[in-house]
Amino acid sequence: MRLLLSGFLLLAAQGFAQTAPPRAFELASVKPAADSNPYHWNAVPGTLRMRGINLRQIIQAAYSVQDFQVERGSGWADTERFDIDAKADHPADRDEMLLMLRTLLAERFRLKMANKPRRVEGYTMVLTKGGLKIQEDPSEGSPAASVNTGRMTITRFPMGGIAHALSSILELPVEDRTGLSGQYSFSLQWTPQNRVTMGSADGLTLAASLPEALEAKIGIRLERGKVEIPVYIIEHAERPTEN
C-alpha cells in the first residue's frame, strides 16, 4: 500500500469549533465522480482538487483524522463518490483550504457533527534517552510525506504530522508527546514484518521493525498504551446541493 500525504500540516490544534468567521472558497464545484478510479486529492496555493472521494473521506481530509475517528452517517456517505474543484480568492495554503473545506461540508452537505474525545488503544511517541538524532529543517516550502511499504520520506513535518503519518502506517492512533515544536525532514527504512531474519555476508541477521528503526535512526520511541483521540460522529448529512 502506498500513502501520499503531500503538504500535510496537522489541523487538530485548530479545534473543532471555529471562533472566527468561517473561511470559504470563492468558487466550489461538487459533482458526482466522473470515473471509478481510486480517490485522490491534491492542493496547490489557492486551489483544491478532489477526485472520486466519498463524504467520510472528505471529513477525514478536512479534519486530518483517520477512518476510525469518523462514525455513523448514512450508507451513501461511504458509497457515493464526488469530484470537487474549489478555488480561494487568494493563494491560500493547504491548512487554510482545509478549513474552507469544513465550511463547504457545512454548506453543501449540510453536515452536522459531534466531537467526543475517546480513550483507545494506541501509541505515544516520545524521545529516547539519547534524545533526537535528527536536526530541525529550517528550509521553506510545503511539508510533504511519501510512505511505501517499509519506507518513509518526511519533508518539513512537525512532530504532530509525523505522528499522524505513523498512525496511517500502524492503523492505530499515535499521540505526539515529544514536546518538540520544530519541523523535520528524514528518510527511514524498515522491515514491515515484526522481526524477520535476512541473509547477510555474516550469516543471518535480524531486520529492524518500524519501532526499532525509529529508535535507532531518529531517536523516537513508540510506547503502547491508552491515548485520547477526537471522534467525529456524523449526526446529519445531505447529498450535496447543485452547483
Residue 135 or residue 198, greater confidence: 135
Residue matched to cell numbers 491560500: 92
Task: Report in angstroms the alpha-carbon separations of 35 from 32, 83, 92.
Answer: 9, 9, 28
Residue 129 CB coordination number (10 Å): 8
pLDDT at position 1: 38
Cα separation, 13 vs 125, in Å, equals 17
The least confident of 16-30, 136-150, 157-171 is 16-30
Whole-structure pTM over 0.85, yes or no? no
Q: Which residues contact 131 (CB under 8 A, 6 or more apart)?
A: 219
Q: Which residues contact 125 (CB under 8 A, 6 or more apart)?
A: 159, 162, 163, 166, 174, 175, 176, 177, 178, 220, 221, 222
Cα separation, 55 vs 111, in Å, equals 10
Q: Is 160 helix (H, G, I), strand (E, B) or coil?
A: helix
Query: 242: pLDDT confidence band, cut at 50, 70 and 90?
Result: low
Highest mean pLDDT among 77-86, 133-142, 184-193: 77-86
pLDDT tens by residue, 200-225? 444 444 458 999 999 999 999 999 99
pLDDT tens by residue, 41-69? 888 889 999 999 999 999 999 998 888 89
